Each structure stands twice: as structure tokens, then as C-alpha cells.
Chains A and B, each alone.
Chain A
């Protein structure tokens, strides 16, 4: 176990180097968010006072986007997928096959430390932004909701990691995984509720998307926070999310095992 703590601390040290880069990234990322929020304001301005869109009031909508940004800072994979693919392509994983260290656990540690650093840096501009919009920002109804939100974000992060991990493992079979990563990312951007709340889609389409893991990456945790899923729906949602974590883990192990059989340490 201590060896993984060591990996965590290496990960923290490595990513700390990029703190200024992270700060810029987080601050620049707020520009399109502001653009989107202005467009939403214009839409609500054209409606009667208090009228809702997809059961969102204007402040509900603003809070939704701020929370998406927050969940994104906490869970998005930054360089992990590229690094894993490069490790495979360059033959760097050979050393992990020889050492008593598990590659998946190793990558998970790096992911977690990277996220911890990124979030603490990104918190500065995001908090300032939230403060500017405080009039429209809703706080969680109670401590229980906040706790379940954090639990849900944690599981979202794990699903996000396994998804990136599995995609990067495609490098065992194809030369260049970047296009696959980008195509998946485009789909995720829509299906996870990053672009707009999934409640705005026609019911049948939203229902179909909920059969995939994507809504549980972003839309679900945010909905938990906003108190939009409650009662039995909340508990089944969390159970489904947990099931996706387990499935992601199983698939990651399986694909790795298959890939390793194919792997021939090029230049390793």
C-alpha cells in the first residue's frame, strides 16, 4: 500500500509543476461558460417572469452550468489517456510488467493526485466566478444532499477514469488512438449533460441516454446536488452509478488482459 502512497506523492509533485498552466486553463475555460450563460439569460428574458424551461428557472440553469464546471474540474481526465497510450506505444509498460506494481492502480493514483492539484488551483477562478453569480447560485438543500453529491462525484470520477483507461488501451491494437478519444469526447460532451441539462431533450431520447454510463458522469451528480432526483429515484440512480463503476473496473481489467497478450514490447 505504501508504494501507492508514494506514487500519489510523485503525481502531486509532477502536476504541481503545471500549476500556472492549470490556472490559465481554468480561467480561460470560464469564457465560453460566460458566453453560454449570456445566451440563456437572453432566452429567459424573452419569457414571462418565472417561466421555466425543462423545469429549470434561470437560477436553476445558472447553477447547473456552474456545477457542471465544478464536477468537470474534479473529474475530467487531463493527460492520463494520452500518457497511457504513449506508455503502450513506446513500450514503457514493460517495466510495470516486471515490477510488483499494478498498472491500473498506478494510473489511478496519478489520476487522483492530478485531479486534487487541478481542483485546488481551479477553485480560485471558479470560486470568484461563483461569487459574481451568487445571486443565482443555489446551495444544497441539506448536508445529506451535499454528502450524496460528493459520493456521486467520486463515482463519476471513477467511471471517467475507467472510460479513459479503456480507450487508451486501444493503443494495443491501433497505432493512433487520438481520434477515438476525440470522437468519444464529443459524444460524452453531449450525452453527459455537459452542453445542456439532459432534461431539455425529448423524454424518449433522455431515457435512452440514461441506459449509457454518460449521464452518470455529470448530469446525475449535478441533479443530486440540485435536489432534482429524490426518493427511490435517487437511490436507484446511485446504485446504477455504482454498477457502472464495477463494470468499468471489470472491463478495464479484461481489456488489459487481452491487450497484454497482444503486446510485444517494441523498443522496450
Chain B
């Protein structure tokens, strides 16, 4: 309990630092929110253009897909808010030897490298995504029960864990490759798959890989389906939770193994 309180107060201090940092470039802060909202709008435009030529895509109606796109964006924005900049910085810490300094601090190093900076704009964007989801729910005449909302929250958390663990796993590769920029770009492409309805993908290698390998077809489909009451079976929830646990476990094992073989860059 005491440890938890200590880590919470540490995180609060990081929050304060981030707020100060962001507020020194106010215009930039607002413009980045605009950029992210534009990309979100673009995805919605794409879907509405598709639905101007069809009524249903693999059993998903227009507003159900809007819900899905909103949900995917919600999880992606939370991921950005908590982790993205920190994870992309890791390869830089390794390259410059700054990691040595962090290893010496009396806190869990993974906690520190994962959560050091907070991306405030992304919180605002995740609220926008929630607003779009609420609108879609209204258009569908949905009133989710408390159990559905709770299920959505837990499943979103599992989706967030998957994104975090996979990206963390990828950037730990920079212990060997030094530059992980390509990795970050590559992962961004995967977000594109996460917002497509899973039933559009026929059974096959592609679907299997993005379900059981890199579970992109689960991360936002399952939480959205919980809200929509579209789950094929409760097993889908168990699968996402299981994959989240597995990804987190593997990323922790690889992280520890990498640290044990870390010989520092320069300092």
C-alpha cells in the first residue's frame, strides 16, 4: 500500500512537470490537438463515404462502425497520453547512456521509462473520442447497462495493455539496433487495422496473425462489441484479457533479460 502511494505521488510530480512543459508552448499544444482531431475526422469521413455506397459491411451498420472507430481512437489516444513519447524516447536513453542514470534511481526503472512524460493533449482527444462514441450510441438507440460500461472499461484497459506491451517489446529491441524509429512508424500502421471490423477479415493467416500474434483485431473490436452487445461469445473477452496478460508478461521477461545484458553506451 505504501509503495502504491509512493508511486502515485511520483506520477503526480511527473504530471506537474508535463503541464509546465506543455504550457510553455501553448499554440503548439492547441495545434497538436487539432492535428489529431483531423486524423480522427478523416477516419470517420472514410467510413461515412463507404457507407454512402453500402448499408452494411460484414454485418456492421454505419453507426456501429462509428462506435468502433471511436473506440479504437479512444484507446489509441489513451496510449499516446500515457506512453507513446516515453516509449519512443527509450532508444534515445539507451543511445546516450541516460539509462544508466535511471537505473540508479530508487524506483522501478520500467515505471520511470514508461510514464515519465504525460501527453496532455491526448487526454482531450480521448474525451473527444468518447463524445463520438456517445453520439453513435444515441444514433443506435443504445443505453448500455452498468455491466456493459464496466466491461467496456476493463476491455479498453486490456486493449491499452496490449498496445503498451507490444510497443515496449519493440523498443527494447533498440538495446541491439540502437535506432527504433522505424519500429515506431511500423507500429503506427498497426493502429490502422485495429479500427476495422473484425468480421470483414476472412479466416486465414492474416486474421490469425492479427488475433493471436499481434492481437490488433481484438484490442478495439472487443470493447466496442461489449457496448454494442455484438459479442459472439464471452470467450472473446477472455481472449483479449488473456492476450493482454501474455503480451505484458513477455514484454517484462524480455525487458529483464535485456537489462541483464545491458553494458551501457558511453557513460
Decide if A28 touches B201 in the complex (CB within 8 Å): no
A250 in the interface (beta carbon within 8 A): no
Partner of B182, one of A21, A53, A190, A196: A21
| Given A195-B42, A200-B53, A42 contacting B193 (CB threshold 8 A) | no
Across the two chains, which residue of chain B brings its CB closest to A205? B49
Stretch touching chain B among A29-37, A66-74, A148-156: A29-37
Decide if B189 touches A42 in the complex (CB within 8 Å): no
A54 in the interface (beta carbon within 8 A): yes
Decide if A39 touches B206 in the complex (CB within 8 Å): no
Q: How far is the CA of A196 from the CA of B48 in the complex (A)?
A: 12
B262 in the interface (beta carbon within 8 A): no
Decide if B206 touches A46 in the complex (CB within 8 Å): no
Partner of A38, one of B25, B49, B202: B202
Q: How far is the CA of A215 from the CA of B58 in the complex (A)?
A: 30
Decide if A196 touches B32 in the complex (CB within 8 Å): no
Decide if B52 touches A32 in the complex (CB within 8 Å): no
Across the two chains, which residue of chain B brings its CB closest to A21? B182
Partner of B49, one of A35, A189, A201: A201
Residues of B within 8 A of A228 (CB): none
Across the two chains, which residue of chain B brings its CB closest to A54? B53
Stretch touching chain A among B16-24, B33-41, B93-101, B221-229: B33-41
B45 in the interface (beta carbon within 8 A): yes
Q: How many chain A residues touch B (Cβ–Cβ < 8 Å)?
A: 33
**Closest chain A CB from B9 CB (angstroms):** 33
Q: How far is the CA of A35 from the CA of B198 in the complex (A)?
A: 10
Across the two chains, which residue of chain B brings its CB closest to A53? B53
Q: How far is the CA of A201 from the CA of B48 in the complex (A)?
A: 10
B31 in the interface (beta carbon within 8 A): yes
Decide if B49 touches A196 in the complex (CB within 8 Å): yes
Q: How far is the CA of A41 from the CA of B202 in the complex (A)?
A: 10
Decide if B32 touches A179 in the complex (CB within 8 Å): yes
Q: Is the interface of B mostly helix, strand, loop or mixed?
A: helix
Q: How far is the CA of A40 from the CA of B185 in the complex (A)?
A: 25
Q: How far is the CA of A53 from the CA of B31 in the complex (A)?
A: 36
Across the two chains, which residue of chain A brings its CB closest to B183? A24
Partner of B45, one of A29, A31, A54, A190: A190
Residues of A within 8 A of B55 (CB): 46
Decide if A39 touches B185 in the complex (CB within 8 Å): no
Across the two chains, which residue of chain A brings its CB closest to B188? A28
A47 in the interface (beta carbon within 8 A): yes
Partner of A179, one of B28, B57, B186, B199: B28
Q: How far is the CA of A180 from the CA of B185 in the complex (A)?
A: 20
| Given A179-B34, A182-B35, A196-B49, A39 contacting B200 (CB threshold 8 A) | yes
Decide if A176 touches B28 in the complex (CB within 8 Å): yes
A25 in the interface (beta carbon within 8 A): yes
Across the two chains, which residue of chain A brings its CB closest to B33? A179
A183 in the interface (beta carbon within 8 A): yes
Q: 8 Å CB contacts to A: which residues of B78-132?
A: none
Per-position binary interface string of chain A over residues 66-104, scored 1 when its CB falls under 8 Å from any chain B CB and 0 otherwise = 000000000000000000000000000000000000000
B56 in the interface (beta carbon within 8 A): yes
A186 in the interface (beta carbon within 8 A): yes
Residues of A within 8 A of B201 (CB): 38
A43 in the interface (beta carbon within 8 A): yes
Partner of B200, one of A24, A38, A196: A38
**Closest chain A CB from B200 CB (angstroms):** 4
**Closest chain A CB from B19 CB (angstroms):** 20
B13 in the interface (beta carbon within 8 A): no
**Closest chain B CB from A49 CB (angstroms):** 15
Decide if A42 touches B185 in the complex (CB within 8 Å): no
Residues of A within 8 A of B28 (CB): 176, 179
Across the two chains, which residue of chain B brings its CB closest to A32? B192
**Closest chain A CB from B165 CB (angstroms):** 19
Decide if B38 touches A47 in the complex (CB within 8 Å): no
Decide if B38 touches A46 in the complex (CB within 8 Å): no
Across the two chains, which residue of chain A brings its CB closest to B46? A195
Q: 8 Å CB contacts to B: which residues of A1-56?
A: 21, 24-25, 28-29, 31-32, 34-36, 38-39, 41-43, 45-47, 53-54
10 residue pairs of the A-B complex, CB under 8 angstroms, read: A31-B193, A38-B202, A38-B206, A41-B200, A42-B200, A43-B57, A46-B55, A46-B57, A53-B53, A176-B28
User: Ordered nearest first, which 10 A-B pairs have the shortest CB separation?
Assistant: A32-B192, A179-B31, A42-B200, A28-B186, A42-B58, A186-B38, A35-B193, A182-B35, A53-B53, A28-B189
| A binding-site residues for B, Cβ under 8 Å | 21, 24-25, 28-29, 31-32, 34-36, 38-39, 41-43, 45-47, 53-54, 176, 179, 182-183, 186-187, 189-190, 195-196, 200-202
